[in-house]
Amino acid sequence: MAEPASVSTAAAPKGAAASTSSPAIHTVDLTKRFGSTVALAGLSMTVPRGEIFGFLGPNGAGKTTSVKLLLGLLKPTSGEAWLLGEKIGDLNTRRRIGYLPELFRYQSWLDAREVLAVHCELAPLPRSTWKDEIRLALDTVGLSERADDRVSTFSKGMQQRLGLAAALVGKPELVFLDEPTSALDPVGRHDVREIIRGLSARGTAVFLNSHLLSEVEQVCDRVAVVDHGRVIASGTMDELLSGTAVKVRVSGLDAAARTKLASFGPLDDEGDQLTFTKLDIERVPELVSAIVGLGGRVYEVSPRHQTLEDRFLELLHEEDT
Give the residues lining the site for another protein (CB under 8 A): 68, 71-75, 91-92, 94-95, 97, 99-107, 109-110, 118-119, 121-124, 163, 166-167, 176
If the CB atoms of residues 123 and 267 are measured against another protein, the closer one turns out to be: 123
Q: In whole angstroms, how large is the CA radius of gyration of the chain?
A: 22
Write the burial class of residue 34 (CB in 10 Å: 0-12 exposed, 13-18 middle, 19+ buried). exposed
Gap between the Cα atoms of 62 and 57, Å rounded: 8
If the CB atoms of residues 179 and 217 are measured against another protein, the closer one turns out to be: 179
Cβ proximity of 208 and 219 under 8 Å: yes
If the CB atoms of residues 22 and 159 are measured against another protein, the closer one turns out to be: 159
Task: Print burial letters for 74-103: b (CB count within 10 Å at least 16), e (below 16).
Answer: bebeebebbbbbbebbeeebbebbbbbbbe
Q: Which residues contact 188 (CB under 8 A, 6 or more apart)?
A: 157, 160, 161, 181
Sheet containing 37-47: give its strands across: 37-47, 25-34, 78-83, 86-87
Cβ proximity of 284 and 301 under 8 Å: yes
- C-alpha to C-alpha distances, 52 to 77, 86, 177, 184, 280, nearest whole angstrom: 27, 20, 11, 20, 30
**Rounded least distance, CB 301 to another protein, Å:** 47
**Rounded least distance, CB 232 to another protein, Å:** 25
Which region, left, alpha or beta, applies to residue 65 given φ > 0 means left and ψ of -120 to 50 means alpha? alpha
Q: Give 301's strand partners.
A: 248
* CA dihedral of residues 185, 189, 195, 200 (deg, nearest 10): 160
If the CB atoms of residues 150 and 247 are measured against another protein, the closer one turns out to be: 150
If the CB atoms of residues 14 and 127 are measured against another protein, the closer one turns out to be: 127
If the CB atoms of residues 195 and 267 are measured against another protein, the closer one turns out to be: 195
If the CB atoms of residues 82 and 276 are measured against another protein, the closer one turns out to be: 82
**Rounded least distance, CB 292 to another protein, Å:** 54
